[in-house]
Amino acid sequence: MHSWKRFALALLPATAQTVLSQNVVDLSGDGWTVSSKALNISVPGHLPSQAHLDLYAANVIERYYGLNDFNLRWIVDNNWTYTSDPIQGLSKNSKSSYLVFNGLDTFTTIEICGQIIGTTDNQFRQYTFDISKAISKCKGEPTLALNFGSAPSIVNKIAEDPDSQTWPYGPQQIYEYPNRWFMRKEQSDFGWDWGPAFAPVGPWQKAWLVQFDDNENLDIFRKGQINHLAPDQSQPWVVNASIDFLGTLPDKSSMTIEIKDIESGEVLKSGSLEDVSTSGQSVTGSITIDADAPKLWWPNGLGKQNLYSATINIENKEDKKLASVTKRTGFRTIFLNQLNITEEQLAQGIAPGANWHFEVNGQEFYAKGSNFIPPDAFWPRVTEEKMDRLFNAVVAGNQNMLRVWSSGAYLPDFIYDIADERGVLLWSEFQFSDAMYPTDQPFLDNVAQEIIYNVRRVNHHPSLALWAGGNEIESLELPLIKEADPEHYSHWVGEYETLFVRLILPLVYENSRSISYMPSSTNNGYLYVNLSASIPMAERYDNTTSGSYYSDTDHYNYDSSVAFDYGSYPVGRFANEFGYHSMPSLQTWKQAVDHDELHFNSSTVVLRNHHYPPGDTETDNFHNASMGMGEMTIAVERYYPIPNKHDPVANFSAWCDATQMFQADMYKSQIQFYRRGSGMPERQLGSLYWQLEDIWQAPTWAGIEYDGRWKKLHYMAQDIYQPIIVSPFWNYTTEGLSVYVTSDLWETARGTVNLTWVDLSGKPIPGNAGTPRTKQFTVGGLNSTEIYATGLSDLSLPDRTDAVLVLSINARGSLPNAGDAVSTFTHRNQFTPVFPNKLSLVDPKLSVSFDEEDNTFIVEAKNGVSLYTWLDYPSGVVGYFDENNFTLLPGEKKKLMFHVQKDETGGKWVKDVTVRSLWDQTTTQ
């Protein structure tokens, strides 16, 4: 630990600020000891950290390896104490001393000099403790002890209390450890179907000791804006600044502000804030800015990410600066439109019901993205460097929105900072998922502080898109509880509304005018909002009309026989969750599994698959895990060549590859369907698949593996999330085939689609099988259009098993906010009239070479059509190719660059890049 002097009256040390008359000791770094008296273990500790990480650093335990998620449960079964070295640099004459913790995980008793000064029971809150009296009684330099209790043991005791709330069997989703709903701790720490149940404890965020001699919230919105209504874009901007402080604020204090364009350094606005008032430990003021004065912030692909710095000063009546807070922010409105469909929309052919889409700066747009889960089981090792790599992959993947799934943790500010820079909107959720939660007053009071802190903490980030109450509470938990206890269903709806509508909604509205709120991640919207009513939002629930659309959707169907049946997909206004699991690559498996376990049915591989979870703490989960493995196996067998290689590790790798083929194809089928819906009566305007990234090395729904390696899924999404795409839709039961062009530009685009039938050796099929070789098209903004339709029986295909329809598009249109500039857009897709395992494949005789002059790889198919062309790279490097998982015709050469994000090989990885295709799945070598 080290200490230095800073200056501030306002105190939220996680933020950038300048402070006066204050001694701040940063408690971060070394200088801690972690111990368990019961286990007689004591090792060097750190802050921020968690017990597992410090035990690993001391070589007491191994890393994410093998079955350590089971074998290390002795850690979570015990209590752990973090003890500081004597704290240097404190003043014995200070009038006020405070401890400030940005995050303690979770049940903590805090002692200084052996005196208990407080307890915590919420991982997601900032805690402050007045330790002035305790410090004055210390003999010598003070020491701090943070005693962390075993979370599973504590919540089990809470559950056993006769006064604790109970629920009917059914809605409470148990993954491994039970009773997670009684604690305000990361819910997935107790297990989920894509990750381990380590249930860590420790000081997971930074902490300070602050002394005085004597969370700021920045909200930017259009004048008159209300969270659930569309803002008037002609109104001036209101900048509302609210700063939390410790100590006493002098009478007649004032506030000033200076807002600068970060890129140019030009001052947008400066001067005194108006209507300055103090309430409790917060001081607030506001200022207005002309409607068109700021440069707007736009999401990725829709415009530039213009950012400003806002510096707020607090001054006393003598104009002496007491505190200064600087925030980086942006000017944008973001609105979740759940309003009823208008007469004008009905006249455009949009089906009746209600909207369900986002609008940024008054513009509808198509939300393209995925769901973000905790990137590690241990948040202290989630670094800015790793998140930089991840968000670079998000942007390279043509995504503009991530749904930050609840029941992980609220994201740290640095991740929002990265999202601000990259233009990635973050649909953010409060940490409640797949369970009913207590509604006793102490629980509600605890949650209220959590909500206020986190809403105020991240409100200034332009990337913040939405607050949702929790995950699947309305769409899954209420139906389950209705089935389990139909006689008392209205009571349970009341319990749900107590937490998510009566408590959380007003707290969001009180602390933000700029962000919409909805009580649950998937829902049917609301009938009306009345902020003066005891239940301020009347949710629609099942008050729906046949033929009308109201909701967003989530969709999981593990019956792979209908994976490509468009009729099995939900039709709604927005798709916020859908997916299917796959295996990670061989390179990733090698990070966590011994060589002799590298086969599909090894104990370690099976038990690292947590789909389906055991529902208890049993470590022998072969039955449920085998069902998940079976789903992947059956899917491959239904649609793809079955690997049968002589070498067992090569065969394992081929099976992993095949599960990724199915996953990518299934997601592609759904994303094309949802994007086409932008031009259908449902007016579908969003696709967020499950899930972006991995928390560890295991079978999951992720598109990016734990170390950053892209699966086929992420490459597929990169391709199908391009602004203009051409998509085939095959109804294999009726043999109907149609081809659509879909655009998420805001203006009309025009162009040509080439339709070319070839056999698998690459030769043209005579007469192009009766299909026009070209079709001209015009597609409206945020729309889709059918350019060709036929029946397979109407085509002159000599052999359906030896045919590929290659679709390529060339279009011209204007990107959003590009002015008069016109861009050219290309996209290529393909269709086979049978599934891949029925194709009469030809060896494409692929080759790959490296051009050192322009640092590109050249891939060529010399003999036949190469389907699922896949460039692979060895371990030791992280990055991505410009494109992957593509189709090559014979004679085609494709030049691709590999974007290196991290290289531990000194560039030697280049010589080990390989290429393969669907053909290689059929060989024994």
Q: What are the domain boundaries of the chain?
A: 2-211, 722-840, 846-922
Which residues contact residue 442 at a Cβ distance below 8 angstroms, ignoring those fewer than 6 apart? Answer: none
Q: What is the strand order of the sheet 774-779 is part of?
A: 774-779, 749-758, 804-813, 823-831
Beta pairing, strands 856-861 & 893-896:
antiparallel
Asked if residue 245 has pLDDT above 90, the reply is no
- Whether the Cβ atoms of residue 641 and residue 921 lie closer than 8 Å to each other: yes
Cα–Cα dist 91/717, whole Å? 57
Asked if residue 715 has pLDDT above 80, the reply is yes
Cα–Cα dist 450/184, whole Å? 9
Which residues contact residue 409 at a Cβ distance below 8 angstroms, ignoring those fewer than 6 apart? Answer: 123, 124, 186, 374, 379, 431
pLDDT band, very low/low/confident/very high, at 213 (cuts 50, 70, 90): low
Exposure of 808 by Cβ count < 10 A (0-12 exposed, 13-18 middle, 19+ buried)?
middle
Annotated catalytic residues are: 472
The two structure tokens encoding residue 867: 């389907």
Cα–Cα dist 431/463, whole Å? 19
Share of the chain above pLDDT 70, in %: 97
pLDDT at 454: 98
pLDDT at 318: 84
Q: Does a cis peptide bond (omega within 30 degrees of 0) precede residue 56? A: no
CA-to-CA separations, 723 to 20, 750, 799, in angstroms, rounded: 51, 13, 34
DSSP code string of 489-518: HHHHHHHHHIIIIIIHHHHHHHH-SS--EE
> How many other C-beta atoms lie within 10 A of the C-beta of residue 754?
15
- Nearest residue to 236 via CA among 285, 295, 297, 288: 288
The two structure tokens encoding residue 65: 């390896």
Share of the chain above pLDDT 90, in %: 91
The most distant pair of C-alpha atoms in the chain lies apart, rounded to whole Å, by 95
CATH fold group of domain 722-840: Immunoglobulin-like (2.60.40)
Cα–Cα dist 537/528, whole Å? 6
- Whether the Cβ atoms of residue 686 and residue 552 lie closer than 8 Å to each other: yes
- Whether the Cβ atoms of residue 478 and residue 346 lie closer than 8 Å to each other: no
- For residue 795, the one-letter residue type is L
Q: Where are the beta strands (DSSP E) in 151-228?
A: 207-212, 217-222
Cα–Cα dist 536/685, whole Å? 27
Asked if residue 10 has pLDDT above 70, the reply is no
> How many other C-beta atoms lie within 10 A of the C-beta of residue 708?
21
- Tell me the three state secondary structure of residue 556: coil
The two structure tokens encoding residue 902: 């991290």
The two structure tokens encoding residue 621: 């989960």
Q: How do residues 498-540 score in pLDDT, each as one tens digit?
A: 999 999 999 999 999 999 999 999 999 999 999 999 999 999 9
- Nearest residue to 12 via CA among 380, 452, 317, 430: 452
DSSP code string of 751-816: EEEEEEEE-TTSPBPGGGGG--SEEEEEE-TTEEEEEEEEEGGGS--S-GGG-EEEEEEEEEE--T
Higher-pLDDT residue of 353, 14: 353
- For residue 878, the one-letter residue type is V
pLDDT at 159: 97
pLDDT at 18: 34
CA-to-CA separations, 94 to 133, 137, 140, 211, in angstroms, rounded: 11, 13, 15, 6
Cα–Cα dist 608/191, whole Å? 12
Provide the CATH number for the domain formed by 846-922 in this structure. 2.60.40.10
For residue 820, the number of C-alpha atoms closer than 13 Å in the C-beta half-sphere is: 0
Cα–Cα dist 460/448, whole Å? 20
Cα–Cα dist 144/113, whole Å? 7
- Tell me the three state secondary structure of residue 907: coil
Mean pLDDT, all residues of the chain: 95
Asked if residue 12 has pLDDT above 90, the reply is no
Which residues contact residue 268 at a Cβ distance below 8 angstroms, ignoring those fewer than 6 apart? Answer: 259, 260, 261, 289, 293, 294, 308
Q: What is the average per-residue pLDDT within 210-225?
A: 83
Q: What is the average per-residue pLDDT within 813-829?
A: 97
The two structure tokens encoding residue 60: 């007491």
- Whether the Cβ atoms of residue 435 and residue 478 lie closer than 8 Å to each other: no
Hey, do 722-840 and 846-922 end up sharing a CATH topology, with the first three levels equal?
yes
Q: How do residues 885-900 score in pLDDT, each as one tens digit?
A: 999 999 999 999 999 9
- Report the CATH superfamily, name and number, of domain 2-211: Galactose-binding domain-like (2.60.120.260)
Q: How do residues 726-739 score in pLDDT, each as one tens digit?
A: 999 999 999 999 99
- Whether the Cβ atoms of residue 105 and residue 200 lie closer than 8 Å to each other: yes
Q: Please tell me what DSSP assigns to residue 85.
A: P
Cα–Cα dist 495/461, whole Å? 32
- Nearest residue to 687 via CA among 557, 781, 555: 555
Cα–Cα dist 131/473, whole Å? 40
Neighbouring-strand partners of residue 899: 880
Q: How do residues 555-599 score in pLDDT, each as one tens digit?
A: 999 999 999 999 999 999 999 999 999 999 999 999 999 999 999
> How many other C-beta atoms lie within 10 A of the C-beta of residue 727?
22
- Whether the Cβ atoms of residue 292 and residue 304 lie closer than 8 Å to each other: no
Asked if residue 136 has pLDDT above 70, the reply is yes
Asked if residue 383 has pLDDT above 90, the reply is yes
pLDDT at 236: 98
pLDDT band, very low/low/confident/very high, at 169 (cuts 50, 70, 90): confident
Higher-pLDDT residue of 323, 121: 121
pLDDT at 212: 65
Q: How do residues 85-116 score in pLDDT, each as one tens digit?
A: 999 878 767 778 999 999 999 999 999 999 99
Asked if residue 150 has pLDDT above 90, the reply is yes
Is the torsion defined by CA of 620, 617, 558, 645 positive or negative? negative
Beta pairing, strands 552-555 & 574-578:
parallel
- Whether the Cβ atoms of residue 878 and residue 707 lie closer than 8 Å to each other: yes
Q: How do residues 18-56 score in pLDDT, each as one tens digit?
A: 334 468 899 999 999 999 999 999 999 999 999 999 999
Q: Does a cis peptide bond (omega within 30 degrees of 0) precede residue 50? A: no
Q: How do residues 338-350 score in pLDDT, each as one tens digit?
A: 999 999 999 999 9
Q: Where are the beta strands (DSSP E) in 74-182?
A: 80-84, 96-101, 107-112, 115-121, 127-130, 144-148
DSSP code string of 380-445: GG--HHHHHHHHHHHHHTT--EEEE-TTS-PPPHHHHHHHHHHT-EEEEE-S-BSS----SHHHHH
The two structure tokens encoding residue 137: 């009684």
- Tell me the three state secondary structure of residue 716: helix
> How many other C-beta atoms lie within 10 A of the C-beta of residue 312?
26
Cα–Cα dist 498/477, whole Å? 15
Asked if residue 15 has pLDDT above 60, the reply is no
Identify how many contiguous H helices and E strands the chain contains and give both numbers: 17, 48
Neighbouring-strand partners of residue 334: 360
